[in-house]
Amino acid sequence: MLEVLKPYIKEIDTPLDVNLEIPHLAYIEAKKKNPKILLFKNPVDGDKKFDIPVMMNIFANDEVVEKIFGKNLDEIAKEIEELIKMKPPKTLSEKLKAFGKLFAIKNTIPKSVKTGECQYHIYEGEAAKLSRLPILKTWEKDGGKFITMGQVYTKSLDGETRNVGMYRLQVYDDYRLGLHWQIHKDSAHLFWEYKKANKLMPVSIAIGGDPLYTWCATAPMPPGIFEVMLYGFIRGKNPKLVKCISNDLEVPADADIVIEGYCDPEEMEIEGMFGDHTGYYTLKKPFPVMHVKAITTKKNPIYYATVVGKPPLEDKYMGYATERIFLPLLKTTAPDLIDYAMPENGVFHNLILCKIAPRYPGHSLQIMHSLWGVGQMSFVKHAIFVDEKAPPLRDYENLTRYILNNFDKEKILISKGIVDELDHSSIEELVGGKLGIDATSKELKKERKLEILKDEELLKKLQEVEPLIENVKQYMIDTKNPICVIKFKKEKSAKEIFKSIKKFKENLRIVIFINTDEIDNPYMLVWRVTNNIDALRDIWIDEIIGIDGSNKNELDGFNREWPPDVDTTPEVIEKLKSLGLIEGISQEELRKYQVI
């Protein structure tokens, strides 16, 4: 596979440190218009040199993703849809076609092999040191070094169910890792089986090999279905798995590195902080511990890693693949769903855009509830629905205009449900508000006409009643529902400021409050606001609509700890600049994406 990807790989010969330097350069690369895969040939840790190179950003761009999958993503989705809709064949040609589809299913069954490339070098006992590997510390406030692209293999207590997921793993010392198994994830469910039985749980981590295995580890497959089977379906050949040296699990035979061990369900240790894909740090919390018993590698292994933080990053392209391939499965739950998109600056679970074919009143509400009950879709916080007349879902500017022209506060649904464990803004941990907006075209009631002022005039008018307002910026003023973003000093809550300005109904329709610096940066504004709001607490529907996208504290009745932003370390950025390694991206883009 790496031979196929060779034209997209940029080799870095300059020695760079696994602590911040390598991940910072990969972070910047991912924000370029045409990112490359980076191969760091000389990773170091202070004075220590590694003989294993580091590869980052392997899902670099759309073209690379298509090379990894071996075909167009929509083709894969079509094959899945044809399987779902397959009917009993009647004619000979239909039977032959059906046979071909069923033959493809045969390829999903994993094949056990006696030996694998991943076991060329074997290190057991004291020799199985994690410090052999160029594991990265990505962000300054991280609790330590983390494996970020590990395929974590587990199985049920009875051995009937196998699972692989991609979870971060914190290095505690040479022989112990923190397993970040979020409470909703399949590995956590299997963990509780072992805990109840008071038995040790085998765990193996595969790194590298065919990148498609890594994507499969992130795929939102239904519970009980081994994600590796999806590899076989896409590749058209059986996945080859080899039994581990020290436990009874199987991993891909072509993995570059395998870390084997076990987890004692009674042992928990503080894990974190970690700069996560939300663009915020996830806070310290107890998680299970893995004890390392063996490490095996290829003859010449490569250590794969990813960097997460503020968008856009590599997960943009991995998430897009998931979005396309799983559309047919979502349609089985919501047949009138035409398409959906999960913008990366909505960090996927914070915002979903859906195009539907509405057939009756309340149809959007029905699909909202349907999606909020499906697997990982249940973590989605904000869902906006449009109809067939709307622009393409990734034509964000025109789509936003369409939504605002069809927006009606009577068509807003706010409810309560589960949220992702990484969500930091919810009213309580794991439980928070859900927002659904029906922006399908309809006959809107006549709205009062707005008097749109220039930003400077509006700012002056608002400051007369609320001096804490620092700046305003209006967007989409040519629509029926313009948006006004207000930046304020957080010396009182946004809700108090909203109460004092909502009388300006002749000038305002939708108002968003922030206390950070995204007012002139719509891309990062979406990121900030969708991260920061809990619909039950932060949306106020009156003659104007208020949305509190500010960072929360005790002024808002928020008593949980609010996490810090994931930010680069200026000294590291300056060093990379001085080495001539930051190129192909403008200062303006670096500022836009909050790199500097």
Residues annotated catalytic, as ranges:
276
Provide the 8-state DSSP code for 521.
-
**HSE-CB of 352 using CA atoms within 13 angstroms:** 26
Strand partners, 333: none
d(CA 491, CA 505): 24
Q: Please answer whether residues 387 and 355 qualify as being in contact, where contact means their C-beta atoms are separated by less than 8 angstroms.
A: yes
Nearest to 148 by CA among 241, 47, 217: 217
DSSP assignment of 153-218 equals: EEE-TTS--EEEEE--EEEEETTEEEE---TTSHHHHHHHHHHHHT--EEEEEEESSSHHHHHHHH
Dihedral, CA of residue 27, residue 32, residue 38 and residue 41, to nearest 10: -80
Q: Please answer whether residues 45 and 18 qualify as being in contact, where contact means their C-beta atoms are separated by less than 8 angstroms.
A: yes
Tokens of 258: 């395998």
- AA identity, residue 579: L
**HSE-CB of 200 using CA atoms within 13 angstroms:** 10
Which residues, 6 or more positions from 5, have their beta carbon under 8 angstroms from its beta carbon?
37, 58, 64, 67, 68
Angle at 379 between CA 368 and CA 542, to 5 degrees: 60
Q: 556 by DSSP, 3-state: which?
A: helix
Edge to edge, what strands does the sheet with 43-45 contain?
Answer: 16-17, 43-45, 48-49
- Sign of the four-CA dihedral 217, 223, 226, 231: negative
The pairing of beta strand 48-49 with beta strand 382-386: unpaired
Tokens of 582: 């930051």
Nearest to 364 by CA among 475, 442, 432, 420: 442
